Chain A
Amino acid sequence: MTDRQLFRETFSQLHASEDTLTEVMKMAREQDSRKKIRRPARTGALIALAAVLLMGSALAAVSYHLRTEPFGDLGVAVSVAAEGDMPGAVAFSDEVENVTFRGLEMTAGWLPEGMENCPGETIKWDWPEDGWRGGFSLSSMPLDTGNATFCDVVGDAESQESLTIGGHEAFYVKMAGDMGFNQRMYISYPEYNAVLTMYIGANVDRDTAVKFAENLNVSVGDWEMDAENLEYNGKRYLDMANFIATGVYVNTADEEDGPVQTREEMEALWAERDPANRAVKTEMTDAHEIGESFPVTFLDFDPMNDSSIDPQNFFKDLTVKVTDISVRDDYSALRDTQYLDMDWASRVDENGKLPKADYEFVVYGDGVNTPSTTVVATLPDQQLYMVAVTVEITNDGDRTVKSAGYNGRLLSIAETADGWAVTEPEPEDPSVEYDEDYCTGGGRLDDMRYWDLRWDGSNGGNEIVDLAPDESVTIQMGFVVSECQLGNLWFYMNDADIEGPDEIHVGYVPVPAN
C-alpha cells in the first residue's frame, strides 16, 4: 500500500452526521417561516434595550461600563470596567469548565443599498463591486472571562467618540492611514456577557456605520467558548491591560510566540529574521558565474510518496548550474508564458511591455506614539522588468530524489563599507533614513512569478517529482523587479522555505544589470 493510499483510506472514514440533510431541510423551513413574520428592523434594537433593562435589575450587584482612555500620542485603549461583584468571577483553574460563555448571533436589520452578505460569510457584508474588501465584519468576545474584562488598543486613532447604540454603550474610532478597515466600533452587551467588535471598511462612512449598528439583531447564539479559549482570552486581556498600564507588551497568552515578549525582544526577533540584518560577509565566497556548477540543498522528502527515506537525510545535495539570465521589459525571454502568474500575464501594454511602478520608502511606527506608516521618499516611474533565470539541476547522489521542492529567489546584495550585505535600493534623497520599502505598482523582490517545471497531473507545483542519479532537469524561473533594483541583484535557490536563507551560503549568481 502506498502512503497516499493510506492517507486517502484514513480520511475516507470521516463522515458527516447521518441527520445532516434532515437538519438542513429543517433549518431551511424555519428560515422560510421566519421570513414570513419578519419584524421591522428597529424592533430588534428595542428588544435588546428591553433586555438590557431587565438584565440590569437581575445583575444589580454589578455594573459594566465601556471605558476609553488615551494611549500614547496616537492610540486609544478600550476596556470594560466592572463595578461591584463580578458574577462570572471564577478562577480558571477550578470552576471555569462549568461556566458557559456563549457567543452572539448577529444578523443585519438594515443594509446600505446594494450591500450584501459576502459569499460564504454570515457576519460580513460589503458591496460586491468593492471586491469584498471592506464593508462590515463582526466579531464577539467575552466581556468578562472571570479573571479579566475586555481590553483592546487601537493605534493611529484619528477621531473617536462615545455613542449609545440601541441602549448599549458603544465607542467609535477612526484610524489614520490607508487600511482597508480603517474604523472600529465596540458595543458592550453586559446582559450577554459580550462585547461586539465591528470592523468597518474605508468604503463606509461613520453615519452609515452607526445606522447599521443601530439596526443589528443581536441575540445569544449556540456557540460556546471552551475553557482553553476562555483562558487564552483572559490572559490576552490581562496582557493588554498590563500593556496599557506600563507600555510594555508581555505576551503570556500565546505560547507559540514565547512566554514573555517585550517590545524590545519582539523587535530583536524580527531584526534577526530580517535578511537585511544578517549575513554581512567580508567576501562573496559563495558567488558563482553563469555556467558554473555549485551545490545546493533541497528539502527532498515526501512522507506521502516515499516512506523509505531516512529522517536523518532530509536534506540532500544537488548541483545547480545557471545557464542563462535575461532581463527584459517584456515576457519574450520566457520559454512558455502559459506558466506566468495570471495576474502578471495581463499587466502589459499593447506592445507587450511591462508597466512602470512607483517605488515608495516607508517608515514603520508603533501606531501609538508614532504613525504606523509614513511615506518618506518615492522613486517615481520605475520601469518593471522580468528577470528570467534558466537553471540546470543535476542529481549527483546515488539515490533518486523524490518530490524536491524548488524555490528560486532574488536578493539585493552589495559591497558596503562593512563588507557584503543584503541591501535595499537607495532612495532619491540619500540623507533620508528609512526602515522599509514597498512598491505600489509591483516589483518588490518577491516570489517567483513564473516557473515552468511543474508536477504533472492534478498536483502541479514547483516540485521535481523524480530525479534519478546523474539525471538533470532544466527549469526557468521568472521574477518581476523594478529598475532601481537592478545592479545589485543575485539569484539563489533554497528549499521550500520562503522566508529566505539562514545565511548567504546556498550559492549566488549575479543578475546582469541589463
Chain B
Amino acid sequence: MLTNEHFTYIAQRYMDTVFRVAFSYMKSRADADDITQNVLLKLYRYEGDFDSESHLKHWLIRVTINECKSACRSLWRRTENIEDYVNSLTMPTPEHSELLEAVMKLPPKYRVAIYLYYYEGYATAEIAELLSVPEATVRTHLARGRAKLKMMLTEADIHDGQTAF
C-alpha cells in the first residue's frame, strides 16, 4: 500500500487526468468528481505495485473507465447543463468553449476515444485495451467522432460566421 505522502503526490499529479476522463465519459461535473474520489480511494487502498509511471497512469485510467461504466450501467446519475459548466470555466477564447461543447455533444464512446487519443496521446491499441473493445472499434469511433465533430463545428461556424475549425 502507498504511503500517505506518496499517495498525496500521485493524487495531486493525476486527479485532473482522472477527472477529465470521467467528465468525458459522464458529461457531468458532479459525477466526474464522485468518480475521481472513488478512483483515488481505490488507489489509496491498492496493495499492488506499479512498474512505472505509465503503468500507474494506465491503471488509473482503466479504473476510471470501469467506474464510469458501472455508473452508466445503472442509469442512476446526475445531469448537468454543459453550456452552464463551460461558461463557468475560464477558457482562453470562444473557440475553446465551442470545441468543448462540441466534443461533449458526441456520444460517450466517441468523446472518450477522442479525449484519450488527442489529449492523453494514447495509441489506438492502448485505448482498445483501456476501453476493453477491439482496436478496429476504436479506429471507427475515432473516425466517426472526428467526422461528427468536424460537421458540428462547421455548422456552428456557418451560423456564427466564425473562422472554420
B79 CB–A CB distance under 8 Å: yes
Contact present for A303 and B146 (CB under 8 Å): yes
When each residue 1-30 of chain A gets 1 if its CB lies under 8 Å from chain B and 0 otherwise, what string results? 001101111110111110011011001100
Contact present for A16 and B18 (CB under 8 Å): yes
Question: In angstroms, how far is the closest chain A Cβ from the Cβ of B51?
Answer: 16
Contact present for B73 and A139 (CB under 8 Å): yes
Contact present for B92 and A9 (CB under 8 Å): yes
- Choose from B20, B95, B123 the contact partner of A458 (Cβ within 8 Å): B123
Residues in A with CB closer than 8 Å to B12 are: 21
Residues in B with CB closer than 8 Å to A122 are: 38, 67, 70
Contact present for A299 and B147 (CB under 8 Å): yes
27 contacts between A and B (CB under 8 A): A10-B103, A14-B19, A16-B15, A16-B32, A16-B33, A17-B33, A20-B11, A20-B37, A20-B40, A21-B15, A24-B37, A27-B41, A119-B62, A120-B67, A141-B75, A229-B77, A232-B75, A301-B146, A303-B146, A307-B165, A405-B143, A407-B136, A458-B122, A459-B121, A496-B140, A497-B143, A498-B136
Contact present for B37 and A6 (CB under 8 Å): no
A405→B147 CA distance, assembly (Å): 12
Residues in B with CB closer than 8 Å to A27 are: 37, 41
When each residue 93-126 of chain A gets 1 if its CB lies under 8 Å from chain B and 0 otherwise, what string results? 0000000001100000000000000111111100
B139 CB–A CB distance under 8 Å: yes
Question: In angstroms, how far is the closest chain A Cβ from the Cβ of B126?
Answer: 9
A461→B127 CA distance, assembly (Å): 11
When each residue 131-165 of chain B gets 1 if its CB lies under 8 Å from chain A and 0 otherwise, what string results? 00011110110111011011101100000000011
Apart from A27-B37, A120-B63, A311-B154, what 13 extra A-B contacts exist at CB < 8 Å? A7-B99, A7-B118, A11-B100, A13-B89, A13-B100, A21-B40, A141-B75, A223-B78, A225-B75, A303-B149, A304-B118, A458-B121, A460-B124
Q: Which residue of B lies closest to A22 (CB)?
A: B37
A77→B106 CA distance, assembly (Å): 35
When each residue 290-304 of chain A gets 1 if its CB lies under 8 Å from chain B and 0 otherwise, what string results? 000000000101111
Question: In angstroms, how far is the closest chain B Cβ from the Cβ of A253?
Answer: 12
Contact present for B23 and A14 (CB under 8 Å): yes
A24 touching B11 in the complex, CB below 8 Å, given contacts A16-B36, A303-B146: yes
Contact present for A8 and B119 (CB under 8 Å): yes
A140→B8 CA distance, assembly (Å): 34
A11 touching B41 in the complex, CB below 8 Å, given contacts A121-B66, A224-B78: no
B55 CB–A CB distance under 8 Å: no
Q: Which residue of A lies closest to B123 (CB)?
A: A460
A496→B66 CA distance, assembly (Å): 27
Q: Which residues in window 444-496 of A have CB below 8 A to B?
A: 447-448, 458-462, 495-496
> Interface size for chain A: under 10, 10 to 19, 20 to 34, or 35 or more residues?
35 or more
Q: Which residue of B lies closest to A123 (CB)?
A: B70
Q: Which residue of A lies closest to B119 (CB)?
A: A11
A407→B137 CA distance, assembly (Å): 12
A191 CB–B CB distance under 8 Å: no
Q: Which 4 A-B pairs have the closest CB atoms?
A: A103-B76, A120-B66, A496-B143, A223-B76
A24→B15 CA distance, assembly (Å): 11
Residues in B with CB closer than 8 Å to A11 are: 20, 100, 115, 119
Q: Which residue of B lies closest to A459 (CB)?
A: B123
B16 CB–A CB distance under 8 Å: yes
Q: Which residues in window 40-57 of B have CB below 8 A to A?
A: 40-42, 44-45
Q: Which residue of B lies closest to A495 (CB)?
A: B143
A121→B63 CA distance, assembly (Å): 8
A42→B6 CA distance, assembly (Å): 38
A395 CB–B CB distance under 8 Å: no
A458→B23 CA distance, assembly (Å): 23
Contact present for A302 and B146 (CB under 8 Å): yes
Residues in B with CB closer than 8 Å to A448 are: 136
Q: Which residue of B lies closest to A341 (CB)?
A: B135
Residue in A4, A23, A459 whose Cβ sees the most chain B Cβ within 10 Å: A459
Question: In angstroms, how far is the closest chain A Cβ from the Cβ of B44?
Answer: 5
A120 touching B77 in the complex, CB below 8 Å, given contacts A17-B33, A21-B8: no
- Choose from A13, A225, A495, A496 the contact partner of B96 (Cβ within 8 Å): A13
A459→B37 CA distance, assembly (Å): 29
A16 touching B95 in the complex, CB below 8 Å, given contacts A11-B119, A21-B40, A458-B122: no
A314 CB–B CB distance under 8 Å: yes
Residues in A with CB closer than 8 Å to B118 are: 4, 7-8, 304
A371→B40 CA distance, assembly (Å): 45
Contact present for A459 and B66 (CB under 8 Å): no
Q: Which residue of B lies closest to A311 (CB)?
A: B154
Contact present for A498 and B140 (CB under 8 Å): yes
A412 CB–B CB distance under 8 Å: no
